[in-house]
Chains A and B, each alone.
Chain A
């Protein structure tokens, strides 16, 4: 029964994808690129949510901080962001570790309300601190390789943004290896599944949480470094991504990191379908919010039944 349903769902999806591919190939291409961008921001947040069980509402702001850091490093040393990626990831890892130790750790036992509001406060703090230091003026680094494009037949499209798809795939594979193969990763996974049980068998829960936080911050730091090669940054640049990330995770189901890829593709492609038409272009933003509400409500209704 379930198999049959999966099969029909698969056929429908394949038909839709094929239809779009024939009708407007750029929709699929740009949709996938957008999906890569969404996924690479959402995956580190999914890692924190899956293991530490905290919704980090300052997640997009972590990326914003990383982007500004990259901007400063590249401006002062003339380094390429892909080179600066390494020190930036190291610094944001330390930053995430510090934030965990100073704030999050103290709210772990508190009600969920306090955790949400705490990270919400951190988000405001980081955005406004950036506002204070850099003003709200947009900053940009320009590179030639960003405008690389490919022509296939009469179709021409930018390929640079596929770097986000690569980054997302790298994160999923890397995390899978880390969580399944390394001792630290296995410990983190165990803590995520059952903190008390993990503590009983001698795993240092606090250390696992701190490491997870640092690792996720390093990943989002890498993302921030890559992000600035393509987009202008300003203090509020990260905040929309926090909510998008959360929603992608909620769609995929908490703890399901590869699922984030699938929900990102769904979001990226459907946004680009609307963007393909002049009349509906302005409405592309709304897809996302409608999608979240449908998915969250759908889940809650289905959850009630079973």
Chain B
């Protein structure tokens, strides 16, 4: 337990010191990997309750637009807009949660996907307010576009996400969510307030996804409905979490590092359709090792069937 904390602290310091050694391009790659990692971990946090969300891109995009529009239309300070956009996404998710969390299994998944599409279409069509299909351009990038500062901002978002996920794993949230995943009826009869825990998990994960969206838009200075709600923001985190191993913090992290770096490399090799690799990975992982790399490693290390 204590050793884990030391490892985590050492990792955070190492990551924070990284800009001193890396050039602009690797830092950019690192930021994209960190963004996807945060999304993968947050998706997994909700998955621990058995609910599969296909709406990551929707909340990510909502956070992006909230932050961009707060700066553009309300003249808010970019740093302050990050905070407001984060809580705005959380509030929207909290309200939607009352309706969406009545649903289970595929109905929940499809509804989250539909919500993401609704957000996209609304922002696409509100020409005067959101800039329509052309999107929005901010007056400037946050922190004057300083590469190191942008890196630390993204790292900050990631560390918050990992911290919350770590807390989820060690508090009674973990027990409640696992109980809901395993058997809702027996969880309810043991006195677990299912709806309350699902609402907390849904709101918190959505808030984190919105936060990463806000950070992304402030670091690039522009966005369009198609980039903010890009299906890849749903797809890649899903593939990463699966490859690494679901129902843990470590699994999605490992998956994000592997796939994130691999995709940068593949993008250079195969400009069209490098995502085919993601499809193959998802299919193979589900068929051959549903517990992912971390599950596989754990099985090897302990030498017994997990």
What CA separation (Å) do A300 and B272 show in the bound complex? 42
In this complex, what residue of A is CB-closest to B125? Answer: A282
Q: A283-B121, A292-B111 given as contacts; is B52 within 8 A of A117 (CB)? A: yes
Of the residues A112, A120, A243, A292, contact of B238 by C-beta under 8 Å: A120
With A113-B50, A118-B283, A124-B235 as given contacts, are A297 and B276 in contact (CB-CB < 8 Å)? no
Question: Which residues of A have CB within 8 Å of B111?
Answer: 292-293, 296-297
- Does B278 lie at the interface of the complex (its beta carbon under 8 Å from any beta carbon of A)? yes
A-contacting 9-mer, from B97-105, B147-155, B252-260 = B97-105
Q: Which one of A23-31, A126-134, A159-167 contacts B?
A: A126-134
The reply on B110 being an interface residue by CB < 8 A is: yes
Select one of A132, A247, A297 contacting B272, CB under 8 A.
Answer: A132
Verify A128–B242 contact, CB threshold 8 A. Answer: no
Distance in Å: Cβ of A116 to nearest Cβ of chain B? 6
Q: How far apart are the CA atoms of A304 and B102 in the complex, in Å?
A: 9
B286 contacts chain A at the CB level, 8 A cutoff: yes
Q: Does A289 lie within 8 Å of B121, measured CB to CB?
A: yes
Tell me, yes or no, whether A2 is within 8 Å of chain B by CB.
Answer: no
Secondary structure type dominating chain A contacts: helix
Q: Flag if A301 contacts B102 (CB, 8 Å).
A: yes
Complex partner residue of B270 from A132, A292, A293, A304, CB under 8 angstroms: A132
Among B52, B102, B279, contact of A300 (Cβ-Cβ < 8 Å): B102
B interface, over-half SS: helix
Contacts A120-B238, A122-B279, A246-B110 hold; do A296 and B287 have CB atoms under 8 A apart?
no
A125 to B270 alpha-carbon distance, docked (Å):
15
- With a CB–CB cut-off of 8 A, which chain A residues contact B242? 117
Task: Please tell me if the beta carbons of A116 and B102 are within 8 angstroms of each other in the complex.
Answer: no
B10 in the interface, Cβ–Cβ < 8 Å? no
**For residue A283, which residue of chain B has the nearest CB?**
B125
Tally of A-B Cβ pairs under 8 angstroms: 123
Q: Name the residue among B52, B279, B281, B287 with the largest chain A CB count within 10 angstroms.
A: B279
Which residues A196-252 have CB closer than 8 A to chain B?
A: 235, 243, 246-247, 250
User: Does B107 interact with chain A (Cβ within 8 Å)?
Assistant: yes
Instruction: Write the nearest CB–CB distance from B125 to chain A, whole angstroms.
Output: 5
**Are A296 and B275 closer than 8 Å at their CB atoms?**
no
Interface-lining segment among B112-120, B167-175, B186-194: B112-120
Q: A107-B287, A117-B52, A120-B238 are in contact. Are A129 and B107 (CB under 8 A)?
A: no
- B52 lies within 8 A of A113 (CB): yes
Segment 268-294 of A: residues with Cβ below 8 Å from B: 282-283, 285-286, 289-290, 292-293
Q: Are B107 and A118 in contact (CB-based, < 8 A)?
A: no
Q: Are A250 and B110 touching (Cβ within 8 A)?
A: yes
Residue of B nearest to A254 (CB): B106
Residue in B99, B109, B114, B278 whose beta carbon sits within 8 Å of that of A124 in the complex:
B278
Query: Using a Cβ–Cβ cut-off of 8 Å, how many residues does chain A contribute to the interface with B?
Result: 44
Complex: A66 Cα to B212 Cα, angstroms: 39
Cross-chain contact A131 with B273 (CB below 8 angstroms): yes
- Alpha-carbon distance A282/B133, docked complex (angstroms): 11
- When the two chains form their complex, are residues A114 and B286 in contact, meaning their CB atoms are under 8 A apart? yes
**Which residue of chain A is the closest to B277 with respect to CB atoms?**
A128
Task: Identify which of A129, A250, A286 gathers the most chain B CB atoms within 10 Å of its CB.
Answer: A286
User: Do the beta carbons of A289 and B279 come within 8 Å of each other?
Assistant: no
Q: Which of A78-116 contact B (CB under 8 A)?
A: 103, 106-107, 110, 112-114, 116
Q: Can you name 17 extra interface pairs (CB under 8 A) apart from A132-B270, A293-B118? A: A103-B287, A113-B47, A118-B287, A121-B239, A121-B278, A122-B283, A123-B279, A124-B282, A125-B279, A125-B282, A129-B279, A132-B272, A135-B272, A246-B106, A250-B107, A250-B110, A289-B114
27 of the cross-chain contacts (CB-CB < 8 Å) are A55-B106, A106-B287, A110-B290, A112-B105, A113-B47, A113-B50, A113-B52, A116-B109, A117-B242, A118-B283, A124-B275, A128-B273, A128-B275, A128-B276, A130-B273, A131-B276, A243-B114, A246-B106, A285-B121, A286-B122, A289-B114, A289-B115, A289-B121, A296-B103, A297-B99, A297-B102, A297-B111
6 A-B pairs with least C-beta separation: A121-B282, A125-B279, A132-B273, A131-B273, A128-B276, A124-B279
Interface residues of B (CB under 8 A from A): 47, 50, 52, 54, 99, 102-103, 105-107, 109-111, 113-115, 117-118, 121-122, 124-125, 235, 238-239, 242, 270, 272-276, 278-283, 286-287, 290
